Amino acid sequence: MTPNAFLYNTLREVCEGTYLAYQRGKAPVLPWFVYQHQYGEEVFADNANYARLPKYRVQLLFKENDPKLVDEFETALSKIGTWRLYDADYLDSEDCIIHDYRVSLNLSSYRESENQYYG
């Protein structure tokens, strides 16, 4: 399983989602999420590339304030790695609330998911 699949499958347990965007007119009923891979995942130590930590931007869109949904989504994000809420706003074009997260994949969690996947 790729890091992208790990992220998608984990968040998909909470709500629908896709990579980058839905086609115009094809988005499901809210809530849903979109994600994209961010560059700059290298960690350098001792003048060498020490680790590669995949980083993502994940946006959760939902119709109205829903603390239970946000809590479930953030719990799923914690299963993936470390995250922070970068921004929260009302999106006029979609008539909804958007939470914009930055996520760094935890390699231990990812490897555990691969072990379960390949069993």
Residue 51 to residue 27: CA distance in whole angstroms: 36
Residue 114 to residue 70: CA distance in whole angstroms: 26
- Full set of structural domains in the chain with CATH: 3-118 (3.30.2000)
- Starting at the edge strand found earlier in the chain, the sheet holding 81-91 runs 16-19, 32-38, 55-62, 96-105, 81-91
pLDDT at 39: 77
- In this prediction the pTM is 0.84
- 10 Å CB burial of residue 92 (0-12, 13-18, 19+) is exposed
Q: What is the pLDDT along the chain (119 residues), one digit of tens a residue?
A: 888 999 999 999 999 999 999 998 899 999 999 999 987 666 666 777 666 778 999 999 999 999 999 999 999 999 999 999 999 999 998 899 999 999 998 877 667 666 555 44
